């Protein structure tokens, strides 16, 4: 028999409706998987089996009575330890947070899932205050990649990605301020989308400002569509939230991509890419041609905006810790402490100059998408490297931004950007393809990813025993 922990959310829902599986049985399966595999992977910083089973029992009863709260009623989901979750502490991977709370409020996406009857499994690990592209912190230690536990799952939503890949919950909520759902999706062979900024309401407002998005993390495009449908509702606490979408993501999408104008940029004009990854991504771009799209190799035409991104990101980090005492600052991740000190030294003029560069980048991409519906790139230029390190061996700099050139530009422009698996290295590590759309073109990005998934089904992580 198939272990219920290995079923996608879509498969679980079908099994619930057929009466062959109950939410309690699904919850028991993922809790057993967590008990078996999480001691090695460290994807969770909080697991509350009693609460999980209580939620599952309530969902089972509702389904028995035909009183479901929504399509995701009874489906297990994990929540990144950045998002507020009523009844559970949100410590953000930091020893400076007070576990005593009070913890009496849900973030918008969490609230929408609770309203639908989703079953909360626990909180997933994050680097301290989600500051970097790998997942380790002074409180919870190092999170590891299911494909190779000596490697990082990426970050900052590395715990969420590892949990999804390893069958410790089919759905996860992550956040992305510079690649934080796409980096770990690429490293763990899972799917994600960073929607247009504001598409998923976010509260409390991030200190990193309008760089920060909430995003679904799943094993399939169909599961991500279900999660998007659930969490894109309005929430008055987010003044920058977009109106609810006018599409149902789980119902949208053509069978092919005939006539779609697609640009393929192997390196954005400035990035160095591992040859194995470059070849795999080029083959994925060719699949879009086979699906009917008109694919041309074209770069958007901007230089690496890393310096401007770092001004915005490091200043945001300084804002996160501005009220901490000297003793509390001494307990921060040393790398975080360094960028906070750097961010605090920027002037208002330097910040506004970086903002102006960001606005120009947005203008350029807006014009680019008048010519092309989608942009394809590698998600990552390298495969997953040693767990516990911020940068791979031989890195020219000490910061995570040195190896994530394909992700942070599209936080600056607020565009939807997805990552889906498109192959493996010779060492068996996943490779990710990034699919970028114009602002508000979330449904098109999802439809294109669904078409690719049907044409090129990918191998999910499995573990015997």
Active site residues: 80, 156, 180
Kindly report whether the peptide bond that precedes residue 28 is cis, defined as omega within 30 degrees of 0: no
Contacts of 159 (CB under 8 A, 6+ apart): 42, 43, 44, 45, 78, 80, 81, 124, 125, 126, 135, 143, 153
Largest CA distance in the chain: 62
Three-state DSSP class for residue 157:
coil
Backbone dihedral angles phi then psi of residue 116, each to the nearest 5 degrees: -85, -5
Q: What separation in angstroms does the CA of 311 have from each of 132, 280, 354?
A: 14, 33, 7
Question: For the chain, give me the number of helices (H) and strands (E)?
Answer: 14, 13
DSSP conformation letters of 3-43: -GGGS-HHHHHHHHHHTS--HHHHHHHHHHHHHHHHHHH--
* Residue 131 backbone zone (phi > 0: left; psi -120 to 50: alpha; other: beta): alpha
From the list 226, 217, 271, the residue with the least C-alpha distance to 421 is 217
Closest CA to 277 of 365, 385, 192: 385
Residues in the chain: 465
Output phi, psi for 72, to 5 deg. -95, 10
Structure tokens at 184: 């770990």
H-run or E-run covering 271: none
Beta strand extents in 109-160 (DSSP E only): 119-124, 136-137, 141-142
Q: Give the whole-angstrom CA distance, residue 373 versus residue 444.
A: 8
Residue 386 DSSP label: B
CB 166 within 8 A of CB 147: no
């Amino acid at each position: 028999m198939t272990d219920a922990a290995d079923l996608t959310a879509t498969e679980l829902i079908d099994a619930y409706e057929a009466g062959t599986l109950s939410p309690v049985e699904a919850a028991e399966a993922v809790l057993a998987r967590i008990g078996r595999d999480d001691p090695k992977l460290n994807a969770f910083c909080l697991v509350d089996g009693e609460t999980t089973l209580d939620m599952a029992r309530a969902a089972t009863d509702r389904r028995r009575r035909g009183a479901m709260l929504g399509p995701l009623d009874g489906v297990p989901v994990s929540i990144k330890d950045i998002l507020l979750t009523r009844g559970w502490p949100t410590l953000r991977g930091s020893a400076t947070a007070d576990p005593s709370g009070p913890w009496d409020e849900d973030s918008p996406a969490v609230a929408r899932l609770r309203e639908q009857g989703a079953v909360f499994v626990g909180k997933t690990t994050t680097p301290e205050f989600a500051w970097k592209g790998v997942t380790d912190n002074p409180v919870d230690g190092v999170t590891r990649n299911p494909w190779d536990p000596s490697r990082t799952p990426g970050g900052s939503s590395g715990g969420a990605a590892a949990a999804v890949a390893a069958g410790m919950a089919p759905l996860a909520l992550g956040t992305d301020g510079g690649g934080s759902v796409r980096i770990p999706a690429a490293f763990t062979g899972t799917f994600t989308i960073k929607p247009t900024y504001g598409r998923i309401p976010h509260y409390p407002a991030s200190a990193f400002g309008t760089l920060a998005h909430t995003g679904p993390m799943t094993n399939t495009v169909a599961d991500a569509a279900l999660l998007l449908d659930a969490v894109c509702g309005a929430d008055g606490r987010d003044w920058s939230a977009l109106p609810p979408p006018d599409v149902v993501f789980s119902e949208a999408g053509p069978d092919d991509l005939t006539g779609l104008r697609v640009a393929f940029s192997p390196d954005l004009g400035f990035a160095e890419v591992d040859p194995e990854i470059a070849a795999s991504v080029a083959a994925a771009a060719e699949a879009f041609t086979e699906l009917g799209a008109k694919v041309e190799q074209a770069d958007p035409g901007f230089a690496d905006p890393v310096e401007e991104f770092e001004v915005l990101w490091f200043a945001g980090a300084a804002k996160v810790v501005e009220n901490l005492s000297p003793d509390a600052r001494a307990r921060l991740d040393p790398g975080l402490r360094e960028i906070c000190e750097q961010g605090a030294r920027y002037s208002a003029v330097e910040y506004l100059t970086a903002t102006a560069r960001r606005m120009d980048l947005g203008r350029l991409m807006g014009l680019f998408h008048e010519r092309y519906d989608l942009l394809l790139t590698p998600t990552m230029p390298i495969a997953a490297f040693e767990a516990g390190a911020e940068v791979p061996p031989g890195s020219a700099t000490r910061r995570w931004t040195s190896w994530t050139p394909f992700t942070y530009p599209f936080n600056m422009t607020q565009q939807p950007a997805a990552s889906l698996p498109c192959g493996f290295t010779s060492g068996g590590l996943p490779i990710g393809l990034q699919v970028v759309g114009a602002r508000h073109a979330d449904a098109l990005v999802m439809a294109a990813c669904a078409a690719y998934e049907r044409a090129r089904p990918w191998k999910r992580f499995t573990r015997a025993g």
